[in-house]
Chains A and B, each alone.
Chain A
C-alpha cells in the first residue's frame, strides 16, 4: 500500500449525502479482469449515454479535472463492498475524501488502499465546503496527516481527528496482512482451543462423501 503523509491538490465539492458505490463505480456494461478504473469513476454521472461528457458534473469542469481531494456529505460509499469504488478514486489521483461520515465498509476499503478518509463534524464540514466552493479550484488545499490539519485559502487551518492506529497505518503504508501475520501463533493456538471447545467450527466437510472430501489442514 502506498503510504500517505500529506497531499496538496485541488479540492472538488460533491455536496450530496449517501453517494453510493453504484454511483462511484458502476458495474460496467462490458467488463474484464483488468478493468479501466479511471474511466469507471462516476461513469454514469460523468457521461451521457452516448459517451459524451456531462460538462456540468463537477469532476468534468475544467478547474476540477485534476482534483486530488473530494469533499462530500454524509454516509459516503453506502452500498456494496466492492473495492473498485476506492480503486477508481486512486486511478484518478484522488487521494483524500473529506466527508461528514462514511459507510463502514467503504471506510475500511479506503484504509486498505492509502486513500485518506477524513471525517469533519457537520459544522466544520459545511464551513470547509464553503471554502472549497469559494476557492473554485483556483488554489489548492493541503491535507496533512502528520499535523492533522487541513490548510488552504479562505480561512484558518482546520484540525481533524483520526484514530492513532489508522493514522499510523496510512503514514507507514503498513502491509495489513503482514501486521496480522505477526499473530500467527495466536491464530494457531485459537484453532487448537476451538477444536476442543467447538470442534464443529474447525471442520467443514460434506458428510455425503466423507472419503473424497478429506483434506489436509496446515
Chain B
C-alpha cells in the first residue's frame, strides 16, 4: 500500500488510540522554552506527576532573553522571573537546559537542528507555533500549547487527530537573490492564512531539492502562517551531509544504520494526498508584505492593492491594514522610507541568512536615521559568524550586533520599535502591535532587509547590487 512520508512517520509513532479516538503519537524530542515551561512545571508539581523522559527533553532560554552584549538574567527585567523559573524547573526535573550563558543557547528551532537533537523521521514538539521549522531536516513537528506541553512531559506522547495530507510542489529554480522566504510568502499569499489548516504539508519539487537545509527550514517555519501545524521536506543526501558531525547524532554503526533507514523516508510514487498545490518559483521576484497578516504580500515591484482587486471576503481586512500600515491603495512598496530593519528570528537567523545579508552590506552603510539590528539565531551561529568576520561587516555598516534570542520577532525581550515606525523584518508575523505598539512591520527576506537598511527605503536588492556594479 503506497504511503506518504507523513503516513510513514505517523504510523511508526502511533502508540495506540485513546478512548476519545485520538491517536497517541510518541514524541522523540521535546524542547521547552521559558515563556511557557513554568506553567507546566508548576502543574506537574501540584499533581505530583513526574517527567517521563527527561533524557529526551531539552530546554532553551530564548523568548525573553536580552540581546544586549554582556546580558544576564536581569538585563530584560520582565524576563528575569521566567528565566529563573525555567532554570529551577529544569534542575528539579533533570532536563538539559541551554541557559542564558550556555555557548549553545539560542532559539529552540535553530538550536535543536544545529546540534542534531532533531533527526529525520523523528517527531518533535515545542510549545511554540513555529516548531515545524525542523521539518527542514525531515522531522515531523508539532507546535503545542501549555497544557499539551505538560501532557508531553508526563507521557512523552501527544493525543492528536490525524491531519489530512497536502503536498506543495515547488517547481523551477528561484532566480538570484530570491530564496525560500520569498517562496513561502508567495505561497501564503496564494493559499491564505488558513489555507493549510488541518493539513500536514510535505514540500517537494525541484526548488526544494535545490534549497540548502537552512532554506528548507525557513520554508517549513512559515507553514503555520498558512495555518498548517506540521510542514516538512523529505530528507536527502544534502540533509545527511548537513547533519554529519553534529553533536547529538547517532555514532558509528548506529549512524550507518540510521542513514540506511533515513534513505527510505520518502513518499511512495503512487501515494495520494488529500490536496496538491503547485507553485512555479522560476519567475518569482523578491516578495514583501504590505499589510497586517502574512498573506498580504506583493512582489517588490508591486503596489499596495486597490480594494477592488482584493477578494471580497478579505476586503475588510485589507481596509483595516491600509489604515494601520499608513498606506494608500496603489502605493508602490519599493521606495517607502523605513525607520528600522531587523534581521533575525527562527525564520531567518541561521548562518547562511547572515552571510547573505553581510554580502549585501559589506562596504556600505546603513542609511542615516535607520536603526538596523542583526540578532543571530543561536550563540553557535553568532560564534561562527564572528569567526568569519561578519560581525565586523555589520558593525562597520552601522548595524547593532546582538546576543542570540527571539528578540524583535515578538518583542518578548523588550526589543521593539516605537509607535508609527516602519520596520522591514525577516520574521514571520506582521500582526498589528507585534513588534511594538503601532509598529508597521513588512516581512521580507534577509537580502531585501539588508538592501533596505542600506537604502533607507524598501529596496529591490537586485537593483541595489546592479547599481553598484
Given contacts A181-B155, A183-B18, A79 and B431 within 8 Å (CB-CB):
yes
Name the one of A32, A180, A199, A201 contacting B159, with C-beta atoms under 8 angstroms.
Answer: A180
Pick from A22, A105, A113: contact of B433, CB under 8 Å: A22
The reply on B197 being an interface residue by CB < 8 A is yes
Query: Taking CB as reference atom, which chain A residue is nearest B150?
Result: A177
Which residues of A lie under 8 Å from residue B28 when comparing CB positions? 201-202
Q: With contacts A26-B433, A183-B16, A200-B254 known, is A101 near B151, CB below 8 A? A: no
Give the CA-CA distance A20 to B144 in the complex, in Å: 16
A72 touches B (CB below 8 Å): no
**A103 contacts the other chain (Cβ, under 8 Å)?**
yes
User: How many chain-A residues does the 8 Å CB contact rule pick out?
Assistant: 67
Q: Please tell me if the beta carbons of B119 and A22 are within 8 angstroms of each other in the complex.
A: no
Cβ–Cβ contact A81 & B159, under 8 A: no
Interface window among A59-67, A90-98, A149-157, A161-169 = A161-169
Instruction: Flag whether A211 is at the interface (Cβ < 8 A).
Output: no
B147 touches which of A113, A183, A197 (Cβ 8 Å) = A113
A15: nearest residue on chain B (CB-CB)?
A: B316
A80 within 8 A of B: yes
Cα distance A75–B412 in the bound complex, in angstroms: 24
Taking a contact as CB atoms closer than 8 A, the residue among B20, B96, B432 that contacts A22 in the complex is B432
Residues in B with CB closer than 8 Å to A7 are none
Known: A81-B127, A83-B145, A198-B261. A22 touches B434 (CB 8 A): yes
Chain B residues with CB under 8 A of A23: 431-432
Judged by a CB distance under 8 angstroms, whether B247 is at the interface is yes
- A204-B36 in contact (CB<8A): no
- Contact residues in B for A81 (Cβ distance below 8 Å): 127-129, 143-145
The answer to whether B419 touches A49 (Cβ under 8 A) is yes
For B198, the chain A residues whose CB sits under 8 A away are 104
Residues of B within 8 A of A78 (CB): 193-194, 227, 293
Task: Please state if B145 and A169 are interface contacts (CB–CB under 8 Å).
Answer: no
Q: Which residue of B lies closest to A186 (CB)?
A: B16
In the complex formed, the residue of A with least CB distance to B159 is: A180
Q: Quick check: B145 and A33 within 8 Å, CB to CB?
A: no
A52 within 8 A of B: no
Closest to B57 in A: A204
Q: Separation in Å of the B105 CB from the closest CB of chain A?
A: 15
Which of B78-86, B173-181, B366-374, B455-463 participates in binding chain A? B78-86
Residues of A within 8 A of B334 (CB): none
Residues of chain B within 8 A (CB-CB) of A204 are 29, 55-56, 58, 117, 248
In the bound assembly, the distance between CA atoms of A30 and B64 in angstroms comes to 11
Residues of A with C-beta under 8 A to B117: 204
**A142 vs B77: C-alpha distance when bound (angstroms):** 45
Report the Cα distance A208→B52, complex, angstroms. 25
Let me know if A126 is at the binding interface, CB within 8 A: no
Residue B26 lies at the interface, judged by CB distance under 8 Å to chain A: yes
User: Is residue A123 within 8 Å, beta carbon to beta carbon, of the partner chain?
Assistant: no
Residues in chain A near residue B431, CB distance under 8 A:
20, 22-23, 79
User: Is B15 part of the contact surface with A, judged by Cβ < 8 Å?
Assistant: yes
B35 beta carbon closer than 8 Å to chain A:
yes
Closest Cβ neighbor of A187 among chain B residues: B15
Given contacts A78-B227, A79-B431, A187-B157, contact A27 B410 (CB under 8 A): yes
A207, B251: Cβ atoms closer than 8 Å = yes
B249 within 8 A of A: yes
Q: How far is the CB of A140 from chain B (nearest CB, A)?
A: 28
Task: Determine the chain B residues whose CB is within 8 A of the CB of A108 once the complex forms.
Answer: 144-145, 148
Contacts of B258 in A (CB 8 A): 198, 200
Measured CA separation A192–B145 after assembly (Å) = 28
Per-residue CB proximity of B103-139 to A under 8 Å, as 1/0?
Answer: 0000000000001010101100001110000000000
Q: In the A-B complex, list the 4 residue pairs whose CB atoms are closest, starting with the nearest.
A: A165-B20, A112-B147, A200-B250, A109-B145
7 interchain pairs (CB within 8 A)? A33-B38, A78-B293, A81-B127, A165-B21, A177-B150, A187-B15, A201-B119
